[in-house]
Amino acid sequence: MAIAALSEQYRSRVIEEINALPNEYLPYALQLLRTFRESVALQPAEITFKQGWQEAQARQVRPVSELWDGIDAE
């Protein structure tokens, strides 16, 4: 199945689910969708670079040796 057709199929199914919600739950569904979209969408490189640069200037950094602390690879 083509990507565009698959995308449209999922979009239709999401809209069906939203339409099935009682009206009082729509604000919560909207917030859930926004939060999800913001958590998975990549920020433009310019924004992430600026944020990283500001953190570095504010000395909000950690040594590379600590970056993997607490992560157990199998």
Per-residue pLDDT, 27: 95
Helices of type H across 21-70: 26-40, 45-57
**Is it the case that residue 72 has pLDDT exceeding 80?**
no
Average pLDDT of the residues in 48-55: 90
Is 3 part of a structural domain of the chain? no
> Does residue 65 lie within any of the structural domains?
no
Domain count, the chain: 1
Q: Check whether 46 has a pLDDT greater than 70.
A: yes
Instruction: Grade residue 73 by pLDDT with cuts at 50, 70 and 90.
Output: low
Enclosing domain of residue 20: 14-60
Q: What is the mean pLDDT of the chain?
A: 87
What global pTM score does this model have?
A: 0.51
Task: Find out whether 60 and 51 touch, Cβ atoms under 8 Å.
Answer: no
Residue 67 lies in a domain: no
